[in-house]
Amino acid sequence: MPRDFLQGVQSEYDVVVIGSGLAGLTCANTLGRAGYSVLLVEQHYKLGGMATWFKRPGGHIFDISLHGFPVGMIKSCRRYWTREIADSIIQLKNIRFDNPMFSLTTTFDREDFTRLLTERFQLEPSTVHEFFDHVRSMNFYDDQATTTRQLFDRFFPGREDVIRLLMEPITYANGSTLEDPALSYGIVFSNFMSKGVFTFEGGTDRLIGLMQKDLVKNGVDPRIRCNAENIMVHRGQVTGVQVNGRMIRTRAVVSNANLKSTILNLVGQEHLDRGFVNETSAVRLNNSSTQVYMALKEDERIDESTGDLLFSSTAPLFRTDALLSRDVTSRTYSFYYPRTRPTGRPRCLVVSSTNANYSDWAGLSSEDYEASKKDLVETTLVAIEKYLPNLRDRLDHVEAATPLTFKHYTRHVHGSSFGTKFEGLAVSRSLPEQVRGLFHAGSVGIIMSGWLGAINYGVIVANGVDAMLSKVETQSSDVANLVTEV
């Protein structure tokens, strides 16, 4: 008999959360802590969504999305998770750039960027201060028509090198481009600039393990290998969720699944206004990624001067289409030293990440797909030898992931790494107006993605669910406060 992953579940909960990405986990935890009965269903065999890891023989543990997040994670984890989680967040001090325009190392905060921009890039100190103050003051409800390109043209006209320094890491961090609203750039960039780039000591496996412990302590019932097939709606009100063929009754559903698949597949268009369905269909997805995972042999080490994060590119200029192209010119390397997992087996690993288009990978025959993956590994090994000579001979393991891999494990439409573009946020926020009791929390709109954005959005939505269940009006300022505070 196949195992019943729903064994022992109740027939009814106050809230069912679909998906255990950081937004789903945080939403479930906040509601569990507030005293609601919460069932969390995850289709994959582990919790975490994109915040995940995998192990390979030889004691190697690869992190998928543990590359860097802003200092705001400390406050959010202390408030909505535990002190132990918050206290494990540490700074990455060695951020490197290497491209045809410049090579430099920075702590990636306002002070050091001001030094670089004025001394090395020879900008007027007053312009630099004005730029930092301007982006820092950007408000969630500000003008959304100005693009990031226009913002840069206003402060640094003709300075492609400056634009590259300011933009390249943010494109990597949340998939945003020069054509996206300046607001989505400004908030995320300022969050990083406040104190630099941070990571979680102990790795993603430790983080998710600690989160799972706290969830259970707060009475949440987390279930893996449980696929939500349908969200049941009756007369404009959520009534339940069909999970692994079984109906679970509930008054509130929070979907952490991809916004478009939640609305267009899980709910069913017959329960929604036609205009809302059209608006949802028009929401653009963010791009996907490829990654190459490299583990060094047990006794091999990487010198720490190599850096923690290295934004490397051979493209003469910073261009969005070049960043997404199959002909890879830009790679971001994350270097993991034994200190990443101080209590684990001492290992050095490198993960090379590249933004990518799903369509470049989806239509391939299985032979072409395998050949393209091999090529991705091969070209990455050639490229990284500039920084780690003879790495190929020092490796114990190497493999690659593509947009199809991300889609397979998280069910994100087109394997989108950061959910949807900015317009997804309005659709996500207005879902409860379409179906009472139905909420969405997950990567949308650039600001609400990444580890910090997802966690904060989970809290915002939990407040909305709480307000509905306890019939108290939620404050619209909640959103603005959470996304802009660091």
Ligand X SMILES: Cc1cc2nc3c(=O)[nH]c(=O)nc-3n(C[C@H](O)[C@H](O)[C@H](O)COP(=O)(O)OP(=O)(O)OC[C@H]3O[C@@H](n4cnc5c(N)ncnc54)[C@H](O)[C@@H]3O)c2cc1C
Give the binding site for ligand X (CB under 6 A): 18-24, 41-44, 49-51, 64-65, 67-69, 173, 227-228, 256-257, 289, 291, 353, 406, 410-412, 417-419, 442-443, 449-451, 454
In angstroms, give the least distance from the CB of 273 to ligand X. 23
Measured from the CB atom, is 40 or 123 closer to ligand X?
Answer: 40
Least distance in angstroms from the C-beta of 14 to ligand X: 18
Give the side-chain half-sphere CA count within 13 A for 263.
28
Shortest CA distance to 17 belongs to which of 283, 266, 234, 277?
A: 266
CB 282 to ligand X: min, Å: 20
> Min. distance of Cβ 237 from ligand X in angstroms?
20
Q: Which is nearer to ligand X, 81 or 406 (CB)?
A: 406
Nearest Cα to Cα of residue 474 among 445, 434, 423, 433: 433
- Of 22 and 123, CB closest to ligand X: 22
DSSP output for 99-158: SSS-EEEE--SHHHHHHIIIIIS---HHHHHHHHHHHHT--TTS-S-SBHHHHHHHHSTT
User: Are 348 and 296 in contact, with CB atoms under 8 Å apart?
Assistant: yes
d(CA 82, CA 63) in angstroms, rounded, equals: 21
Identify which of residues 40 and 128 has a Cβ nearer to ligand X in the complex. Answer: 40
Calpha distance 356→441 (Å, rounded): 24
Rounded distance between C-alpha atoms, residue 196 and residue 311, angstroms: 15
Rounded least distance, CB 158 to ligand X, Å: 31
Closer of 131 and 440 to ligand X (Cβ): 440
Residue 122 in tokens: 């020879």
Q: What is the DSSP string of 375-416?
A: HHHHHHHHHHTTTSTTHHHHEEEEEEE-HHHHHHHH--GGG-
Q: Which helix (H) or strand (E) holds 223?
A: strand 221-223
Least gap, CB of 415 to ligand X (angstroms): 8
Q: How far is the CB of 261 from ligand X (least distance, A)?
A: 7
Instruction: Specify which residues 230 forms β-bridges with.
Output: 242
Residue among 65 and 176 whose Cβ is closer to ligand X: 65
Nearest distance, CB of residue 198 and ligand X, angstroms: 10
Q: Residue 123 or residue 195: which is nearer to ligand X going by CB?
A: 195
Residue with smaller CB distance to ligand X, 228 or 272: 228
Q: Which residue is nearest to ligand X, using beta carbons?
A: 21
Query: Which residue(s) pair with 104 in the sheet?
Result: 97
